[in-house]
Amino acid sequence: MNSATPRARAEALLKTLTLEEKMYQLSAQMVWDVKEDYEDKRNHKEGNYRNPGHFMHFDRPDPATPAEVAERINRDVKLTMEAHPHPVPPLEHGEALHGAQWGMATCFPQPIAMASMFDDDMVERIADVIGKECAAVGVRQALTPVVNISRDCRWGRTVETFGEDVLLSSNTGVAVCRGLQKNGVIATPKHYADNYSDGGRDSNYSNSSERAMREVWLRPFEKCFKEGGALSVMAAYNSWEGVPCSANDRLLTEILRDEWGFEGFVVSDYWGVEGVHEAHKLVDSYHRAEAVCLKAGLDVNLPHSCYEKLRKAYDEGLITEEDLDRAVLRVLTAKFVIGLMDHPFADPAAANALVRCDAHKQLALESARRSIILLKNDGTLPLRKDGIKKLAVFGAGANKLPVGENYSGPFKRLWEAPDAKTPLEYLRQYLEGYAEVIYAEDEDIDTVAAECDAALYLTAVVEGEGMDRSDIRLPGVTRKAQADESAIIVGKFEIEIKTDQEDSIRRMTAANKNSTVILLNGSPVDMTAWLEDCGAVLEAWYPGEQGAQAITEILFGEVNPSAKLPITFPRSVGQLPLYYAAKPSGRGYGYVENDGSPLYPFGYGLSYTTFEMGGITHTAAADSLTLSLNLTNTGDMDGAEVVQVYLTGTNCDVVMPRLELKAYRRTEVKAGETVTVTLTVLSEAFCYYDRKMTLGMHNGDYTVSVGASSADLRGSFAIKVRDGKLTEA
């Protein structure tokens, strides 16, 4: 084994590469159709490649097996290594938002649902499996996690995020990066840095100030690099301060590298470099866009070949060999760090044994159980398995796999598996011998719901990449939508809603008071038109391949819900953007129609049991704060509560958020028992940017609050910062 450091090995290799080889290390390719003529289309000199597994499944009766994908990628790696004087393997990359998307790998809850667990350790376990299932077939770079903060749920890509909170998004992003990279898979946080704009419009010009960028949008990225060890980052499509992110030297060099010390490599979002010319009109040609992006700090142009553009830019003197060397060194170093240079090939037989093994499917089930939120319950839930004879089931989401169509499954083929079940299928299996499950179209709700002991409605929502919304109510009356060209890599899917879901729910609750709505969605929904008469509401998000079982278990009390909202639910679209950590108003917060408060606040989620928090104590050290409290399960069912710690700052150098999450811990407690929960709030929680935009532990007075949500605070105490140290108030 070579004892030299990855960087030293990369430097030695770089010295031997020809100019052409260097350019190809920064070039990329993607071939859509992996058929007989695939290798005629593939230029194996390209050093970065969208793995062929993503495109192997859509034109065949059964999906390709993991072994077939591994064999195809192995051949691609072999031919690439043979195409150059020096056998450097390519980086085969792909998506992995909630599962390795090269094919039918284990499918976990969507990211917004992962965040609902408030459980960093569980997220890291999920990412570890995703990393293993990427590496098993030879995919060594994952274009994930999405650590953009979603504070306007009209943004169609909210489902891909970890919600609205900086700390929760940062910690969850770090957990994903750690899980992936321990398996030799490069994590690529995206989209750097501020990926949507006014009205939730995807990739529109960023109006964020330097302060907002520093306080909110940049912090999760910084944590992913410094604590998660991410070796790459994806630049966003949009522009900030007048410069596209792919060509923004302020973002890509000054902040990313000079301030944060990031040593990895930067990739463009797909066609992002071309967009510097075509969309933003910053320069008059593609090769000039290539040059300004490389100069600014972007290293690899995805997804198609940019060799010719690099060559033209070099020949015209727009870039130098020194520019190329700087970028190539970053890419080569990462390849050495993850072990790709020493072990470039996957084991097809091992891939078949590993992917969707029993342990991985069990983790998918456990994470689904922990991600589902009980939003409302007037005693309707849990249902009793032996207490009903007829169960009515309605809604477009009832007989679909609850994985979500956004980044689930490979190109032009939704995720599938012979052992995966829809909610309707699992309910029938679960209630066999106990109750009849009657599935009916919405037009029959009035009669079918009335003759049953309980009724369920499972919703469908139009959303996803390229599908921003201006209406956050449940879609209704033949709402048809198709992902636009920006979602082409996901596969241009079409969604059609053939019924007025709000009207259907109202009719169901009128016919049967024992009614529950199960939301299958990726972002907040306006429920005001039907919520009042509904007995219970479950926010199931898209809980993944095992989601049908998890939904059923929670409905019938086999599992006690414990998840919490990672994003605020508004009463209506007119309140947007709405998020809990807003800074104080100089006057008020309300509207003519409402007082400005949310329908459901950040951190909210019910249980089938009840919890009390008491005996709060704290100890302040110079650089940290330790809190302890007694958490008592006062009900008759075992459960879990998420203890949340918030700060409110006053008398600081600048205006602070009214409330901001600074620590949390999910804790399981048996019925009738009390446990001690201890949390540590580090000094960084008390750091802020002063008027001179200097980050530090500046003076301030703080109220530390502990509770079960941002609107359910059970106790508080005062603490202050003086001369860079925490002291008692």
The C-alpha angle 421, 415, 139, rounded to 5 degrees, equals: 135
Element housing 538 (H / E): strand 536-539
Half-sphere exposure of 141 (CA within 13 A, CB side): 29
- Rounded CA separation 183/131 (Å): 6
d(CA 300, CA 268): 6
- Coil, helix or strand at residue 244: strand
Q: Which residues contact 506 (CB under 8 A, 6 or more apart)?
A: 529, 530, 533
- CA-nearest of 356, 363, 359, 413 to 67 is 356
Q: Which two tokens stand for residue 225?
A: 């690099």
Q: Are 222 and 255 in contact (CB under 8 A)?
A: no
- Going by C-alpha positions, the residue among 243, 231, 186, 238 that lies closest to residue 217 is 238
Is residue 497 very low, low, confident or very high in pLDDT (cuts 50, 70, 90)?
confident
Mean of per-residue pLDDT scores for the chain: 95
pLDDT digits (tens, 9 = 90+) for 660-674: 999 999 999 999 999
Q: Per residue in 96-146, pLDDT tens? A: 999 999 999 999 999 999 999 999 999 999 999 999 999 999 999 999 999
Question: Within the chain, which residue ranges are assigned CATH 3.40.50.1700?
Answer: 372-566
DSSP string, 564-584: --SS-B-SSGGG-S--TTPPP
pLDDT > 80? residue 483: no
Residues spanned by CATH 2.60.40.10 within the chain?
611-728
Going by C-alpha positions, the residue among 435, 619, 575 that lies closest to residue 151 is 575
Residue 701 in tokens? 């007075």
Q: Which residue has the higher pLDDT, 370 or 306?
A: 370
Tell me the whole-structure pTM to 2 decimals: 0.97
Give the model confidence (pLDDT) of 60-74 as tens digits: 999 999 999 999 999
Task: Please say whether the beta carbons of 399 and 558 come within 8 A.
Answer: no
With residue 648 as reference, give the H or E element that holds it: strand 639-650
Band (484; pLDDT cuts 50, 70, 90): low
Residues of the chain with CATH 3.20.20.300: 6-353
Instruction: Please say if the pLDDT value at position 427 is more than 60.
Output: yes
Say yes or no: domain 6-353 is CATH 3.20.20.300.
Answer: yes
Exposed (0-12), middle (13-18) or buried (19+): which is 260, by Cβ within 10 Å? middle
DSSP of 251-288, one letter per residue?
IIIIIIIIIT---SEEEEPTTHHHHHHHTS-SSSSHHH
Rg (CA), the chain: 26
pLDDT at position 494 is 61
What is the share, in percent, of the chain residues with pLDDT greater than 90? 92
**Domain 372-566: CATH superfamily, name plus number:** Glycoside hydrolase family 3 C-terminal domain (3.40.50.1700)
> Is residue 589 packed enough to be buried (19+ CB in 10 Å), middle (13-18) or exposed (0-12)?
middle
Predicted confidence (pLDDT) per residue in 162-189, tens digit: 999 999 999 999 999 999 999 999 999 9
Tokens of 563: 């998840």
Residue 226: what residue type? K
Mean pLDDT in residue range 146-159: 96
Dihedral sign, Cα of residue 71, residue 76, residue 77, residue 82? positive
SS3 617: strand
Share of the chain above pLDDT 70, in %: 97
**What pLDDT, on a 0 to 100 scale, did the predictor assign at position 493?**
54
Q: Are strands 141-142 and 91-94 parallel, antiparallel or unpaired?
A: parallel
The pLDDT of residue 486 is 53
In CATH, which superfamily holds the domain spanning 611-728? Immunoglobulins (2.60.40.10)
Contact 136, 70 (CB under 8 A): yes
Q: What is the pLDDT of residue 489?
A: 59
Kindly state the average pLDDT of the residues 361-390: 97
pLDDT for 495: 64
pLDDT of 332 over the 90 cut: yes
